[in-house]
Amino acid sequence: MPPTPEQVVIGILAVLFGCLAVTGSVYAGRQTGNWLYYICTMGSLAFVAGVIGQRVFPSPAAIARYGSAASTSAPGPWDAGVSLPLIGIKVTPVAIVGLLVAAVGLSLVLLFERIPGTVRAAAPTPASRLEDDDSV
């Protein structure tokens, strides 16, 4: 069964969000030098790959090969087998693992990111005495 237009739009938006997350985390990792951003990058890349490589389960080729037994077989990592309850769509285990890795990477970045030091003003100079100002 082909995907519905709503599923195609959700897939496009998910890939766009994942690509923006990859771009943002690579840029932040290069700017700050914090390697924890690259954990977010790897998770976002896995999420995008999971959405792009998604197949229906069971595939038409598996149904042609195995018949009715194809529906009782175990789905692979690229087969849409994990159902998201609030959205009502099925995604691949690769996309779910990528989403979880990106979330863990983001939480590590937020926990261990160095807080920039505050800029301290220079110590005020002591006021000069009036006699010192008048001397030549």
pLDDT of residue 45: 96
Output the CA–CA distances (angstroms, integers) from residue 56 to 1, 45, 79, in the order listed: 8, 21, 6
Look up residue 53 and give its DSSP letter. Answer: T
Residue 18 lies in a domain: yes
Residue 82 lies in a domain: no
Residue 39 lies in domain? 1-67+91-114
**pLDDT < 70: residue spans in the chain:** 1, 116-122, 124-136
Residue 35 lies in a domain: yes
pLDDT of residue 72: 72
Tally of structural domains, the chain: 1
CA distance 29 to 85: 33
- The pTM (predicted TM-score) of the whole model is 0.73
pLDDT of residue 135: 59
Residue 125 lies in a domain: no
Residue 110 lies in a domain: yes
